[in-house]
């Protein structure tokens, strides 16, 4: 299993790094669109869609995102779109987690299918727009989510006692959440201290726009929303009685398993920094 995880991670990095570093945004847009379309197929499977419907969901994502691509690359998507997605995730994500597994199972399947396509569509548009904002910006948001996840994992293992959402994800704890936030705060301090020549990042933009206290609180909000994205996918998987969203990424599960925390963070980061 460990060997599979390493090989898969190396292959993903070999694809992601050149796409990120390319002068044009389009290689990154094409790579992430492929991954998001696969996630659309996984979403259908998790929500009781027949194989044909799951493939249609993936095709819908490919077609609609491709049509939106030029606007995302040129950063011409209206700011209100990101504000809408931010509120949708903050309010809708909290509502879904409060309803729990039974509440999700009670939603009509076609409604869940459409919702998944919309969430992934918004996430892809935000990813590409973030890359168009600059390499430092998209990397800072990615690192925020990755550090929050890693710090939460180790902090939860070391100090975790109070369960965060035992009926959805029994392994997560409040101590893990605080550890993730502490890790992100340290990352932001290092990035702002050393990254003056790297270009605008989500950390520097929050600091410039909202000041030390306001920017810090919003940074913790972004960290918290990464947890919401993770829990939301865990809720969907638990409702489907599945451990992983698929086995498309050997040793890692599915695409949704790797990007769940990113889904709410990128639209919210854009709403906070370009609104």
Question: Which pLDDT belongs to residue 196?
Answer: 62
User: Bridge-partner residues for 165, per DSSP?
Assistant: 169
Q: What is the pLDDT of residues 175-233, one digit of tens each?
A: 999 999 999 999 999 999 887 667 899 999 999 999 999 999 999 999 999 999 999 99
- Name the token pair of 166: 């035992």
Q: What is the pLDDT of residues 220-266, one digit of tens each?
A: 999 999 999 999 999 999 999 999 998 888 877 899 999 999 999 99
Q: How confident is the model at residue 13 (pLDDT cuts 50, 70, 90)?
A: confident
Question: Which pLDDT belongs to residue 71?
Answer: 93
Helix, strand, coil share of the chain (percent; to 5) = 80, 5, 15
In angstroms, the CA 265 to CA 240 distance is 24
Question: Which pLDDT belongs to residue 6?
Answer: 80
Question: Which pLDDT belongs to residue 114?
Answer: 94
Burial bucket for residue 80 (CB in 10 Å: 0-12, 13-18, 19+): exposed
């Amino acid at each position: 299993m460990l060997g599979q995880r390493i090989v898969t991670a190396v292959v993903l990095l070999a694809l992601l790094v050149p796409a990120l570093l390319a002068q044009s945004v389009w290689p990154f847009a094409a790579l992430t669109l492929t991954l998001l379309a696969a996630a659309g197929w996984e979403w259908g499977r998790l929500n009781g869609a027949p194989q044909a419907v799951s493939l249609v969901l993936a095709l819908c994502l490919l077609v609609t995102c491709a049509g939106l691509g030029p606007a995302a690359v040129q950063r011409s998507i209206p700011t209100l779109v990101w504000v809408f997605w931010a509120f949708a995730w903050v309010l809708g994500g909290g509502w879904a987690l409060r309803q729990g597994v039974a509440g999700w199972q009670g939603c009509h399947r076609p409604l869940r299918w459409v919702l998944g396509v919309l969430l992934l569509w918004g996430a892809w548009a935000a990813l590409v727009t973030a890359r168009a904002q600059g390499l430092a910006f998209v990397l800072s948001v990615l690192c925020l989510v990755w550090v929050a996840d890693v710090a939460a994992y180790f902090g939860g293992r070391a100090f975790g006692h109070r369960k965060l959402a035992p009926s959805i994800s029994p392994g997560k704890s409040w101590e893990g959440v605080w550890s993730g936030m502490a890790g992100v705060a340290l990352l932001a301090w290092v990035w702002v201290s050393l990254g003056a020549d790297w270009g605008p990042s989500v950390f520097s933009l929050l600091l410039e726009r909202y000041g030390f206290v306001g920017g810090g609180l919003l940074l913790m909000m972004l960290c918290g929303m990464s947890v919401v994205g993770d829990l939301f996918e865990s809720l969907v998987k638990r409702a489907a009685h599945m451990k992983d969203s698929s086995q498309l990424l050997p040793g890692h599960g599915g695409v949704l398993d790797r990007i769940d925390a990113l889904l709410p963070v990128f639209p919210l980061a854009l709403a906070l920094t370009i609104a």
